[in-house]
Amino acid sequence: MRNLVICLLALWLASGCAQAEEPIRAAASETRTEWVVTSAEGMDAILLIGAAGGDVMQADIYPEGIAWVRETVSPEGVEAIDAIDAALRQRIGVLTGPSMAYFFSANQVETLDDVIASAADPRGRLQPGLMTSPHWDAERFENAVRLMPTIHTALVELRAAGFSQWYADNFADDVNAAVGVNRAGVEAYDIIPEQERLLGRALDPQIEILIANFSRPYGIRIMGQRFIAYHGWDAQTQLRVAAHEIFHPPFDPDDPDLPELLSDLEADPWMRSIVEDHDPRFGYNSFMGVINEGSTQALDQVVSDRLGFADDPGERWRGNDGGMHMFAAAAWHAMVEDGFAETGGTYSDWLKSALRRGLLSPAEVRRRATEVVGAETVDQWGPHRAAAGEAD
């Protein structure tokens, strides 16, 4: 297998290798990953509230859906939707639809009535499930409970406006068709063992994909090993989303060793430019956010490389989110070169080792990223970018 990894590195970094071996596939009797693919009208209602409230990344994607909400839903409902956006996106800087999606995924979301019931009784219907999450935060829950009457109003007014019939007439057929197509497309891929191999811990064998209409441009992680994906994405894209989302978080963000090990990279002007000068709409607006996402992208690239559904890494990281994920490109390059992509282990341990050995020093991150994406993408970042922005 080492020859395969070296061959992949040569193919993508130097375009000097012929076709690699067949991707790794487990025999049907050996497959451990259990795929569940479903749809949920109630979750799409939650996501539509986020889009209609003012999500800037969704405005050009769903103009007709947003117009339907703002023209058909009662003034009281529209006022509630705007208040939700003000409380979440504008005030605390989180994505409204995805944030609510995570919260409501603690109970049933199949129908609009399901999510209305949860909004009416968050302590009874949502708190028990949320408390099982490693991300449980009592203060955040209380903040959400205070907003819940407003969310309840928005959902009830969506129902009164005929959301369920409108959704059935315009979107349900495409969503339901995509459920079957995607189930058939993903079930042959056994990704859980590959992810366990890189995280160094056991994972639940079940992965649930919830197919939606109003989720673009996001792949949204919800409670458990579950995520929301757009019905128009093909199975290969769904696989890449699954390979990505389950890795979050790939290391303990509270690890006491990481701040010192990452201090040089965090202080580097080139890296600071990535953190500070990228389009904030993409998210990842902190240094640790960039490292977390970059690590996750690098790991999902390893999995998709090995299982045969990868995008070309150079094309991926040149174009994704304005070319900001240079740490992802560098970490992937280092994992392949250092042998971790082949041997596996515990990523958090490998990351700390790589930092101690200088494999991901500021200069090495730039060098490795350049090997993957080219100098033009790497060189767009730096103090000159901020200066150019100020001049404009």
Q: Is residue 161 part of a domain?
A: yes
Angle, helix 191-199 to helix 235-245, in steps of 10 degrees: 30
Q: Is residue 1 part of a domain?
A: no
Q: Is residue 383 part of a domain?
A: yes
Q: Residue 310 to residues 2, 273, 301, 355: CA-CA distances in angstroms?
A: 18, 28, 6, 26
Token pair, residue 132, equals: 């099982």
Judgement on whether residues 269 and 359 belong to the same structural domain of the protein:
yes
Going by the DSSP 8-state scheme, the letter that residue 130 receives in this structure is H
Q: Is residue 205 part of a domain?
A: yes
Task: Give the count of alpha carbons within 13 A of 164, CB side only.
Answer: 14
- What is the structure's pLDDT at 135? 84
Token pair, residue 73, equals: 């839903």
- What is the structure's pLDDT at 281? 84
Q: Which amino acid makes up residue 78? A: V
Query: Residue 363: CB partners within 8 Å, gap ≥ 6?
Result: none
Instruction: Single out the residue of 300, 330, 303 nearest to residue 314, CA to CA.
Output: 330
Element (H, E) at 208: strand 206-212
Distance CA 2, CA 344 (A): 12
Q: In what order do the strands lie in the sheet with 220-222?
A: 34-39, 206-212, 226-230, 220-222
Query: Cβ(48)–Cβ(61) under 8 Å?
Result: no
Judgement on whether residues 197 and 269 belong to the same structural domain of the protein:
no
| Low-confidence residues in the chain, pLDDT < 70 | 1-29, 386-392
- What is the structure's pLDDT at 384? 87
The secondary structure of 12-63 as a DSSP string is: HHHS-----PPPP---GGG---EEEEEE-HHHHHHHHHHHHHT-TTTTTT-H
Residues in the chain: 392
Q: Is residue 90 part of a domain?
A: yes
Query: Considering 183, 214, 246, which residue would you say is the last residue of a domain?
Result: 246
Query: Considering 221, 246, 271, which residue would you say is the last residue of a domain?
Result: 246
- What is the structure's pLDDT at 19? 31
Judgement on whether residues 184 and 279 belong to the same structural domain of the protein:
no
Judgement on whether residues 238 and 281 belong to the same structural domain of the protein:
no
Distance CA 105, CA 87 (A): 20
Phi (first) and psi of residue 45, to 5 degrees: -65, -40
Judgement on whether residues 225 and 295 belong to the same structural domain of the protein:
no
Q: Is residue 11 part of a domain?
A: no
The secondary structure of 314-383 as a DSSP string is: HHHHHHGGGGT-HHHHHHHHHHHHHTHHHH---HHHHHHHHHHTTTTSHHHHHHHHHHHH-HHHHHT-SH
Q: For the beta carbon of residue 311, count every other beta carbon within 10 angstroms.
A: 16
Token pair, residue 290, equals: 């960039």
Judgement on whether residues 241 and 269 belong to the same structural domain of the protein:
no
Judgement on whether residues 191 and 42 belong to the same structural domain of the protein:
yes
Judgement on whether residues 262 and 309 belong to the same structural domain of the protein:
yes
Q: Say what the pTM is.
A: 0.82
Q: Is residue 380 part of a domain?
A: yes
pLDDT in tens, 339-375: 999 999 999 999 999 999 999 999 999 999 999 999 9
Query: Considering 185, 214, 246, which residue would you say is the last residue of a domain?
Result: 246
Task: Give the count of alpha carbons within 13 A of 165, CB side only.
Answer: 5
Instruction: Single out the residue of 247, 379, 381, 369 nearest to residue 301, CA to CA.
Output: 247
Judgement on whether residues 238 and 143 belong to the same structural domain of the protein:
yes
Judgement on whether residues 69 and 212 belong to the same structural domain of the protein:
yes
Domain extent at residue 365 = 258-391
Q: Which amino acid makes up residue 286? A: S
**Tally of domains within the chain:** 2
Judgement on whether residues 153 and 176 belong to the same structural domain of the protein:
yes
Q: Is residue 312 part of a domain?
A: yes
Token pair, residue 314, equals: 């150079």
Judgement on whether residues 186 and 297 belong to the same structural domain of the protein:
no
Query: Residue 347: CB partners within 8 Å, gap ≥ 6?
Result: 198, 199, 200, 250, 251, 295, 299, 340
